[in-house]
């Protein structure tokens, strides 16, 4: 990884490990799977906070994730995995598996808030996890990793409170 993800290849990994390519492919079925493993090892310091406040948990999680992507090779690695997944089936499968696991973990923050009574039981934690991921991935893919605390907090509040004015009738309320 010293040369960056563009110079990253299974051949180079095999050479450096003094192993054959088949040995590397036994452990990782694709370049994307290997990159995801490297990415996950680097991302261990991005934890899911448990402050007792769902808003604070979301803000802290997003700020840590965005700064991790900005300040380490992880952002570049993850962008390359997403890009590769657009044209490589194995990469797409590896990314989908990773995203499923992260979705459940992120949803866990919301489930904790439900148990504390902060979030209603009618809210699907996985849907909120999708909103959190969409915000993060959008910022990663468009190079907006320097968001201010205020901007991240404002986004968290929209995720938590929605966009419909209190007391107004939304189209969702009129659906059967």
Question: Average pLDDT by consecutive 10-residue portion of the chain (176 residues)?
Answer: 56 71 72 78 81 97 96 90 89 91 96 96 97 98 97 97 76 51
Structural domains present in the chain: 5-162 (1.10.357.10)
Q: Is the dihedral of CA 138, 141, 144, 147 positive or negative?
A: positive
Which pLDDT score, from 0 to 100, does residue 5 have? 53
List pLDDT tens digits, range 5-41. Answer: 556 666 766 677 777 777 767 777 777 777 788 777 7
Which pLDDT score, from 0 to 100, does residue 79 have? 92
Which pLDDT score, from 0 to 100, does residue 27 have? 76
What does each C-alpha distance from 148 to 107, 139, 145, 169 come to in angstroms? 24, 12, 9, 32
List pLDDT tens digits, range 66-75. Answer: 999 999 988 9
Angle at 46 between CA 109 and CA 64, to 5 degrees: 90
Cβ proximity of 153 and 59 under 8 Å: yes
The phi and psi torsions of 122 (rounded to 5 degrees) equal -75, -10
DSSP class of residue 118 equals S
Closest C-alpha among 151, 170, 168, 167 to residue 159: 151
Which pLDDT score, from 0 to 100, does residue 2 have? 45
Which pLDDT score, from 0 to 100, does residue 128 have? 97
Cβ proximity of 22 and 16 under 8 Å: no
Nearest-10 crossing angle of helices 149-161, 125-141: 150
């Amino acid at each position: 990884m010293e040369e960056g993800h563009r110079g990253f290849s299974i051949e180079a990994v095999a050479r450096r490990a003094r192993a054959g390519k088949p040995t590397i492919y036994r452990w990782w079925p694709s370049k994307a799977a290997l990159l995801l493993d490297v990415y996950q090892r680097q991302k261990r310091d991005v934890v899911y906070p448990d402050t007792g406040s769902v808003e604070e948990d979301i803000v802290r999680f997003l700020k840590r994730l965005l700064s991790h992507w900005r300040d380490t090779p992880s952002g570049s690695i993850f962008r390359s995995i997403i890009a590769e997944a657009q044209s490589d089936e194995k990469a797409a499968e590896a990314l989908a598996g990773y995203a499923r696991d992260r979705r459940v973990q992120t949803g866990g923050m919301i489930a904790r808030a439900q148990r504390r009574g902060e979030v209603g039981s009618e809210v699907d934690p996985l849907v909120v996890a999708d909103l959190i991921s969409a915000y993060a991935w959008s910022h990663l893919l468009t190079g907006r990793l320097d968001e201010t605390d205020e901007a991240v907090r404002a986004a968290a509040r929209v995720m938590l409170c929605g966009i419909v004015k209190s007391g107004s009738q939304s189209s969702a309320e009129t659906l059967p």
